[in-house]
């Protein structure tokens, strides 16, 4: 049991209107009494107080709130001080706290760690909280909030309880095989395992939507040299991010621009024009373009309007359902509607005068929204969860291939442990509870 009382600035570094200092642990109420001179602070009420330093000089006129354990973020006694967000105010308040008995500054993440240790948050909620704090766009915010509020925990814990119940039945078969147990138990258990395998499979095969939304969605601009890819990037970024020139082969490195597109975090990359070249540096650029194109969530495949209707063959091979095909320079006379290539509709734009760019942004948003929209069903958000789920899935699959009941039970235990690791609740004692609840074996 960790009895140190910890404190830290919970809001960003000032100067700001208000800064929040959080104190958690058994000595938090005493520290608040010492700083405010109040005999008592009622729980869950904001109280206006003078904050004083060790010699009794007033530091600030502040608001203070106390949360009595276990009804607090950490599950411990917590006090929060809302002081004016000036550097000296914060520094002096922290100094006064450091002088209180049993108080020390918190380590990074220590409040959340205590919340986890006290069962206030499971591991997925802890991760959701971290994601919420670092969310940069609305779609990321929504995904993180749902995770923090327990959406993934209830999915994984739900699977785990079903497996625990199935295992309890199996154990009953093992331990009491001479006695009179319903014959269909084994059948029911294997039915449940099959159902879980399917559900986990479905959850795993999600095109990494949740993970990609956390990391940012990758949009890559590809096409032949001089098609106007860099001009297009600059237009989307609303700044001169990449060098534009009429010399083919201008762009060599991948140039990335981050933006918020209708709430989605998007990284748009401009790449070197695709062509055969003997020049070593350019050839490396082309290699990088192909690599970026292959890892992209959406490809903007750009043809050069100056050579229209002749299209670059290599570029054309990159058109598929994840791509938006574009012919640029539609300000030139040879680019005429309707624009099609090999049955694919092609969008005409002019990166020079902006024609068609609104439509391009709309199409891009639609594509991204269709693929990444956070729907009703919870999505996987982290590789850690994916690994554990794969392990669980493997163990369940393996259990289908063996005859021996003991071996099946062992694989089920491994699967349960893998799920338990995701939310951080690994225990085995609860199997017994389930046996007693379902079978009343003791009678």
Ligand X SMILES: Nc1nc2c(ncn2[C@@H]2O[C@H](COP(=O)(O)OP(=O)(O)OP(=O)(O)O)[C@@H](O)[C@H]2O)c(=O)[nH]1
285 binds, among ligand X, Mg ion, none (CB under 5 to 8 A by kind): none
251 binds Mg ion (CB under 5 A): yes
Distance CA 328, CA 274 (A): 16
356 binds, among Mg ion, ligand X, none (CB under 5 to 8 A by kind): none
User: In this complex, which beta carbon is closest to ligand X, that of residue 227 or of residue 395?
Assistant: 227
With contacts defined by CB under 5 A, name the span among 84-92, 250-258, 345-353, 363-371 that binds Mg ion: 250-258
Question: To the nearest whole angstrom, how small is the minimum distance from the Cβ of residue 250 to Mg ion?
Answer: 5
Site residues (vs ligand X, CB under 6 A): 225-231, 244-246, 248-251, 272-273, 328-329, 331-332, 350-352
Per CB under 5 A, contacts with Mg ion among 199-238 are 229-230
The CA–CA distances, whole Å, from 59 to 10, 89, 121 equal 19, 6, 35
User: In this complex, which beta carbon is closest to ligand X, that of residue 5 or of residue 250?
Assistant: 250
Strand partners for 258: 267
331 binds, among ligand X, Mg ion, none (CB under 5 to 8 A by kind): ligand X
User: In this complex, which beta carbon is closest to ligand X, that of residue 186 or of residue 355?
Assistant: 355
72 binds Mg ion (CB under 5 A): no
User: In this complex, which beta carbon is closest to ligand X, that of residue 216 or of residue 228?
Assistant: 228
Question: To the nearest whole angstrom, how small is the minimum distance from the Cβ of residue 261 to ligand X?
Answer: 21
Distance CA 336, CA 352 (A): 17
393 binds, among Mg ion, ligand X, none (CB under 5 to 8 A by kind): none
Question: To the nearest whole angstrom, how small is the minimum distance from the Cβ of residue 282 to Mg ion?
Answer: 11
User: In this complex, which beta carbon is closest to ligand X, that of residue 23 or of residue 244?
Assistant: 244
329 binds, among ligand X, Mg ion, none (CB under 5 to 8 A by kind): ligand X
Question: To the nearest whole angstrom, how small is the minimum distance from the Cβ of residue 333 to ligand X?
Answer: 10
115 binds, among ligand X, Mg ion, none (CB under 5 to 8 A by kind): none
328 binds Mg ion (CB under 5 A): no
With contacts defined by CB under 5 A, name the span among 46-54, 247-255, 333-341, 378-386 that binds Mg ion: 247-255
Q: Is the CA virtual torsion 11, 12, 13, 19 positive or negative?
A: negative
User: In this complex, which beta carbon is closest to Mg ion, that of residue 143 or of residue 328?
Assistant: 328
User: In this complex, which beta carbon is closest to ligand X, that of residue 147 or of residue 230?
Assistant: 230
**CA 68-149-137 angle, 5° bins:** 120
Note if the bond before 120 is cis, omega within 30 degrees. no
Question: To the nearest whole angstrom, how small is the minimum distance from the Cβ of residue 277 to Mg ion?
Answer: 14
User: In this complex, which beta carbon is closest to Mg ion, that of residue 5 or of residue 230?
Assistant: 230
User: In this complex, which beta carbon is closest to ligand X, that of residue 179 or of residue 276?
Assistant: 276
Asked if 166 contacts 206 with a C-beta cutoff of 8 angstroms, the reply is no
Beta carbons within 10 angstroms of residue 178's beta carbon: 6
Comparing every residue's Cβ against ligand X, the nearest one is: 273
Question: To the nearest whole angstrom, how small is the minimum distance from the Cβ of residue 286 to Mg ion?
Answer: 12
Question: To the nearest whole angstrom, how small is the minimum distance from the Cβ of residue 269 to ligand X?
Answer: 12
Q: Which residues of this protein are in contact with Mg ion, per CB under 5 A?
A: 229-230, 250-251
């Amino acid at each position: 049991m960790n009895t140190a009382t910890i404190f830290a600035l919970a809001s960003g570094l000032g100067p700001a209107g208000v800064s929040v200092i959080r104190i958690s642990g058994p000595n938090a109420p005493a520290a608040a009494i010492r700083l405010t001179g109040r005999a008592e602070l009622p729980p869950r009420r904001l109280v206006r107080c003078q904050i004083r330093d060790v010699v009794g000089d007033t530091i600030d006129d502040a608001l203070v709130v106390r949360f009595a354990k276990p009804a607090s973020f950490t599950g411990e006694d917590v006090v929060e001080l809302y002081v004016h967000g000036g550097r000296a105010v914060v520094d002096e308040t922290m100094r006064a706290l450091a002088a209180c008995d049993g108080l020390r500054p918190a380590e990074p993440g220590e409040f959340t760690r205590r919340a986890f240790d006290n069962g206030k948050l499971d591991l997925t909620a802890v991760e959701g909280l971290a994601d919420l704090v670092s969310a940069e766009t609305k779609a990321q915010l929504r995904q993180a909030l749902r995770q923090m509020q327990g959406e993934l925990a209830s999915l994984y814990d739900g699977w785990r309880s079903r497996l625990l119940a199935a295992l309890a039945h199996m154990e009953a078969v093992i331990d009491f095989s001479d006695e009179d147990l319903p014959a269909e138990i084994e059948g029911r258990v294997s039915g449940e395992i099959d159902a879980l395998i399917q559900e986990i499979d479905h959850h795993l095969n999600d095109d990494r939507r949740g993970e990609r939304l956390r990391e940012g969605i990758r949009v890559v601009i590809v096409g032949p040299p001089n098609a106007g890819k860099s001009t297009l990037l600059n237009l989307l970024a609303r700044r001169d991010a990449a060098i534009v020139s009429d010399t083919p082969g201008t762009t060599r490195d991948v140039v990335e621009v981050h933006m918020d597109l209708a709430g989605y975090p998007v990284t748009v990359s401009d790449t070197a024009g695709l062509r055969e070249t003997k020049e070593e540096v350019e050839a490396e650029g082309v290699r990088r373009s192909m690599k970026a194109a292959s890892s992209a969530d959406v490809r903007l495949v750009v043809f050069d309007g100056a050579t229209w209707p002749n299209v670059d063959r290599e570029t054309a091979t990159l058109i598929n359902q994840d791509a938006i095909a574009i012919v640029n320079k539609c300000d030139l006379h040879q680019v005429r509607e309707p624009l099609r290539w090999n049955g694919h509709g092609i969008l005409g734009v002019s990166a020079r005068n902006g024609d068609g760019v609104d439509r391009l942004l709309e199409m891009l948003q639609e594509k991204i929204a269709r693929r990444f929209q956070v729907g009703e069903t919870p999505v996987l958000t982290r590789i850690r969860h994916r690994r554990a789920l794969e392990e669980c899935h493997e163990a369940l699959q393996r259990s289908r291939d063996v005859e021996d009941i003991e071996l099946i039970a062992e694989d089920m235990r491994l699967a349960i442990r893998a799920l338990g690791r995701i939310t951080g609740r690994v225990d085995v004692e609860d199997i017994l509870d389930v046996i007693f609840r379902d079978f009343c074996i003791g009678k």
